[in-house]
A and B are shown apart, each in its own frame.
Chain A
């Protein structure tokens, strides 16, 4: 099939960008979205134009590296799907597709469709580490964990830190991401020991990095390729409030 692509091109963080239109011809429906861009990039180089920079790594939906806003939606039109797992069969011959980077001030554009997501790394660092040794798998199983807690912790642990939640949010809030990390650890006994400090520090860092607050719109949940749910944010808020009161008492 043949497509018209409107791609955001921006040379660096300090220059302004603009949409550039490209024709993608003979696109196979079996290609992934990123493979379609690979083929376009080969064509561009042969024409003497610089290739479009975009982030990618595992291309199997588990690393969190890829992420494009496709037709206004982070990771494109399919639910629970990363950009790399989106295939061209989702589109129709003759379609015009608009491709943008994540748009959020804490995620400055580095080049074209690549943004700097190191703010997420700094939030993770601010959470510190879990000081309780968990041992190997058999040792881990000696601590009984209710099935419901284990399931909820594992659901939260699905977060791959891609930043689609921030890109989807009108407030550029990172609360779904931070809530997933906080929930993942505090639902398990080993992670509970440091949960108060973790919640206080990660929330403070999130604010310091310039991410907005949650207004319960839910677009993050809709965009999340790993289906992280809003109740994680409620859990984070409860935990943050408890930790705040406790820290004021002591």
Chain B
């Protein structure tokens, strides 16, 4: 908290929030590719280091301070956005609402890879600029069989 207040840089919290949001929307949105994800993983640490050097959070830490509250959230979003991108990159399939453009059927439908990715990925944050640790929770179905959803 004191660190955020002491930076006294030139850019507002909203400015960083918007930049990160646009990057995530464009590159880690519903449609994503290996290239767009790798580019994001290069860009987020750059935005993050600029954030911690150049953000401007006014006011004090002891009273109600909406700017400080927002700054704390955006600091979290920077770490979380990166973690989310690691997960998206590692999951080489199209699953749920997320479409990895490299993995699609001949007629453009989402193509899952149940052999490799039939698990929930629970990532463990290991600190900024450290690769997070992946914990896998396997998806085990006893009664039903996994199949391809079709709206056709």
Contact = CB atoms under 8 A, between A and B. Distances in A.
Interface of A: 11-12, 38, 42, 45-46, 48-51, 53, 110-111, 114
B56 A51 contact: no
Interface of B: 12, 14, 56, 58-59, 63-67
A110 B67 contact: no
A11 B62 CA distance: 12
Contact of B12 (A11, A12, A42, A111): A42
Given A42-B12, A45-B12, A46-B12, A53 B56 contact: no
Nearest to B56: A45
B14 A48 contact: no
Contacts of B14: 38, 42
Main secondary structure of the interface of B (DSSP, over half): loop
A44 B56 CA distance: 12
Contacts of B12: 42, 45-46
A235 B85 CA distance: 56
Contacts of B58: 45, 48-51
Leading 7 A-B pairs by shortest Cβ distance: A111-B64, A50-B58, A45-B12, A50-B59, A110-B64, A53-B66, A12-B63
Contacts of A51: 58, 66-67
Nearest to A52: B66
A42 B66 CA distance: 12
A42 B64 CA distance: 18
